[in-house]
Chain A
């Protein structure tokens, strides 16, 4: 694969951004503009909003989830190259070795998942 093969993607990226910009510019051009005080109020079922949500606190569960996501997504990132290389490994006679290495890796992460589960990191009540 040559670097020139990515030229299609470059054209695509430029074209996509241009089209997205063009349609929003169209809406800006043709849409009416009459701002009223009520119209720009954030929607809150008609009552006046109290406090800004951008300073609001939210559940710590989301942070837990984000941390677990990083761990398991890293696992995916490590497992996929292993899976791609499996055929060559198997052909060279390293199949069982590769399998063992992966099993150790997956076992450690499964222990992590079980630990998190037991600690209640995956509960949502």
Chain B
């Protein structure tokens, strides 16, 4: 198969298959059904599939109906809005959320030969080469790329707020810009300690390094070596996605819907989809950086090894099964963190705006700085 065809298939399967279909379906469902369960409601159960009652109570037909309605509703634009910027903003929110997925690995590279595991937990591919099948782009500065691309969506929020010619939108846009740039600093700085330990920005390589074990039994996941960074990163990530308890930019009771107020039809849909994609993105990043990404504990290229690998696996597995387990592991971890974000979202009340800023600048930023300094000192001594 030619190279471009492989790339195209990867893009279609990962982004338009997983991120846009499965993940957004699950997040929309989670958003509506899970919140209903938490608030002791029934949730969406009215839409029906072709007049039958199949899946009626699950709310899945609602998801399809919502998608169709986005297309069939009237796109409006407020008077005196800046036409070009008004139409550009949804794209600037949606596309960065999707483009970030280019660097996310869903499994290790494919070994076309025989795979061996060395006593140092390194996987060696003999008689073949590594093929990059489970990651759209094998970029060695993956983490930097993800941060660079996803932070472009700040422009989307700011432009949407300004171009709408509505006061609620402007306030929402300002608030979300301020909030996102505040937490952007913490988001990057909290990972410095982790990068120091791994010594690379390649996401796939980072996951591979989490395959070693501490004392022969505890998987060396990022959360084991950098527990503080995990909490700081997860909180900052939640604030970046602008979801409750950090949903100040679109707090319904104060600002109607923030910078989305004037949007309707597919522009609104694109903004929502972009935010869901960002939520799943944070889940995937947490899984990759702190919870071993596609790693399954004790599972290596040729099967399960309990204790130090000595050539023969304790439970030999087919290579295809290993790959499937790893992809499954990555997806389950990602969805778990999406679920956790929704759980927090529907359990905690909204902060006040000054509390959000205080948390970002006076607590999380000094905490991530201290974490970096302590990690560096410990690494220098050891």
Is this pair of chains taken from one and the same complex? yes
Interfacial residues, chain A to chain B (CB-CB below 8 A) = 1, 4-9, 11-13, 15-17, 19-20, 23-24, 26-28, 30-35, 39-44, 49, 52-54, 56, 58, 62, 65-66, 68-69, 72-73, 75-77, 79-80, 83-84, 86-88, 90, 95-96, 99, 102-103, 106, 109-110, 113, 117, 122-125
- Determine the chain A residues whose CB is within 8 A of the CB of B90 once the complex forms: 24
Closest approach, in angstroms, between the C-beta of A33 and any C-beta of chain B?
6
Complex Cα spacing A8 to B139, Å:
11
Main secondary structure of the interface of A (DSSP, over half): helix
User: Cβ of A99 and Cβ of B377 under 8 Å apart?
Assistant: yes
User: Cβ of B184 and Cβ of A12 under 8 Å apart?
Assistant: no
Count of interface residues, chain B, beta-carbon cutoff 8 Å: 84
From B8, which residue of chain A is reached at the shortest CB distance? A11
- Determine the chain A residues whose CB is within 8 A of the CB of B177 once the complex forms: 62
User: Cβ of B164 and Cβ of A76 under 8 Å apart?
Assistant: no
The yes or no answer to B321 lying at the interface (CB within 8 A) is: no
Q: Report 30 cross-chain contacts, Cβ distance below 8 Å, ordered by A residue.
A: A8-B136, A9-B102, A11-B11, A17-B91, A27-B71, A27-B75, A31-B72, A31-B75, A42-B78, A42-B166, A43-B78, A43-B168, A44-B168, A52-B80, A54-B162, A58-B174, A65-B181, A66-B178, A69-B182, A73-B181, A73-B188, A76-B185, A79-B192, A80-B195, A84-B195, A86-B196, A86-B199, A96-B380, A123-B354, A124-B358
User: Cβ of A54 and Cβ of B165 under 8 Å apart?
Assistant: yes
| In the A-B complex, the 4 residue pairs with the closest CB atoms | A27-B266, A124-B354, A87-B199, A42-B166
Given contacts A12-B15, A41-B79, A113-B366, contact A76 B165 (CB under 8 A): no
User: Cβ of B357 and Cβ of A12 under 8 Å apart?
Assistant: no
Complex Cα spacing A108 to B343, Å:
39
Complex Cα spacing A84 to B98, Å:
26
From B256, which residue of chain A is reached at the shortest CB distance? A43
User: Residues 71-108 of chain B: 1 if any A CB is under 8 Å from the residue's CB, otherwise 0?
Assistant: 11111111111100001001100110011001000000
Complex Cα spacing A9 to B142, Å:
12
Complex Cα spacing A12 to B104, Å:
14
Q: Among A27, A35, A102, point to the contact of B70 (Cβ < 8 A).
A: A27
Closest approach, in angstroms, between the C-beta of A102 and any C-beta of chain B?
6
User: Cβ of A44 and Cβ of B137 under 8 Å apart?
Assistant: no
Closest approach, in angstroms, between the C-beta of A70 and any C-beta of chain B?
9
From B353, which residue of chain A is reached at the shortest CB distance? A124
Closest approach, in angstroms, between the C-beta of A123 and any C-beta of chain B?
8
Closest approach, in angstroms, between the C-beta of B161 and any C-beta of chain A?
9
From B167, which residue of chain A is reached at the shortest CB distance? A53
Given contacts A16-B95, A28-B75, A76-B185, contact A58 B170 (CB under 8 A): yes
User: Cβ of B182 and Cβ of A65 under 8 Å apart?
Assistant: yes
Q: Among B178, B184, B189, B191, point to the contact of A75 (Cβ < 8 A).
A: B189
Q: Among A9, A17, A103, point to the contact of B95 (Cβ < 8 A).
A: A17
Complex Cα spacing A31 to B87, Å:
15
User: Cβ of B192 and Cβ of A76 under 8 Å apart?
Assistant: yes
Complex Cα spacing A16 to B366, Å:
38
User: Cβ of A9 and Cβ of B136 under 8 Å apart?
Assistant: yes
Query: A11-B11, A86-B376 known; 9 other A-B pairs, CB under 8 Å?
Result: A8-B102, A16-B15, A31-B72, A32-B73, A72-B185, A72-B365, A75-B189, A80-B144, A109-B369
User: Cβ of B79 and Cβ of A31 under 8 Å apart?
Assistant: no
Q: Among B7, B78, B199, B201, point to the contact of A8 (Cβ < 8 A).
A: B7
User: Cβ of A84 and Cβ of B199 under 8 Å apart?
Assistant: yes
Q: Among B139, B181, B354, point to the contact of A125 (Cβ < 8 A).
A: B354
Q: Among A19, A26, A30, A65, point to the contact of B16 (Cβ < 8 A).
A: A19
Closest approach, in angstroms, between the C-beta of A58 and any C-beta of chain B?
6
Given contacts A72-B189, A73-B188, A99-B380, contact A83 B196 (CB under 8 A): yes
From A19, which residue of chain B is reached at the shortest CB distance? B16
Complex Cα spacing A68 to B361, Å:
10
Complex Cα spacing A22 to B195, Å:
39
User: Cβ of A42 and Cβ of B270 under 8 Å apart?
Assistant: no
The yes or no answer to B362 lying at the interface (CB within 8 A) is: yes
Closest approach, in angstroms, between the C-beta of B244 and any C-beta of chain A?
19
Complex Cα spacing A73 to B91, Å:
25
User: Cβ of A73 and Cβ of B184 under 8 Å apart?
Assistant: yes
Closest approach, in angstroms, between the C-beta of B179 and any C-beta of chain A?
9
